[in-house]
Amino acid sequence: MSDEITNRHHLCYTQNFEQARSLNTQMNHVPVLAMTLTGGLWFGAGVTKDLPEEIRFALLIFAGFCNLSLIFAVLRIRDVLESYLEKLKEFNPDSFASGEPKNPKLPWLGSYSMILIYCALMLIGSLFSFVGAFWIFWPFESARWIGIILLLALLTAIYLTLFSRSTAASKHAES
């Protein structure tokens, strides 16, 4: 019976390790995907000749929303990765490499610091996309401010929807 439990623990550890490795790879591919997608859409909007303003505007709006979506995706991947790392640490805490050195060069950088830096860069790319869409390629007769207000209303609605679900889910998990 003891060997069966030991084998099961070893198998679970191995599977958790492989899954964590795979999630880490996925997480590190998202910023590259964001740069490629954003660059391609910006190129299409800015360089392509004979493209109507409406299409250029739509390409940049799409780039902005893609970057915002990828921010949420990469944060979710990082949270799932963290759950696997917690299980790996439980298996053998003494041999777990936490990524927290005894004498760090930048002690204020924590376990989510790398992904938050990526997210900040993707957010800046998203903001540039929206600014470019509204400032350079606004195709409509109405004032730009109407479009900006509609965009802000949409972003606020998305934010409230996502984070109200998050709050409700955490309250449900606590009960």
143: pLDDT confidence band, cut at 50, 70 and 90?
Answer: confident
Instruction: Give the chain's domain count.
Output: 2
Residue 172 included in any domain: yes
pTM above 0.75, yes or no: yes
Question: Quick check: 5 pLDDT over 80?
Answer: no
Mean pLDDT along residues 136-150? 86
Q: Which domain holds residue 130?
A: 2-95+108-139
Residue 25 has pLDDT above 90, yes or no: yes
In the chain the first and final C-alpha atoms are separated, in Å, by: 36
* pLDDT category of residue 1 using cuts at 50, 70 and 90: low
Query: Domain check: are 71 and 155 in the same one?
Result: no
Note whether 54 and 131 are same-domain residues: yes
Dig out the tokens for 148 from the structure: 């900006």
pLDDT attached to residue 167: 61
- Residue 102 falls inside a structural domain: no
Cα–Cα distance measured from residue 8 to residue 19, given in angstroms and rounded to the nearest whole number: 16
119 Cβ neighbours under 8 A, 6+ residues apart: 71, 74, 75
* CB distance 61 to 147 below 8 Å: no
Q: What is the largest CA-CA distance in the chain?
A: 77
- Do 129 and 167 lie in one domain? The reply is no
Answer whether residue 78 is part of any domain: yes
89 and 162 part of one domain? no
Tens digits of residue pLDDT in 62-106: 999 999 999 999 999 999 999 988 988 888 888 877 777 778 787
Residues 17 and 84 in one domain: yes
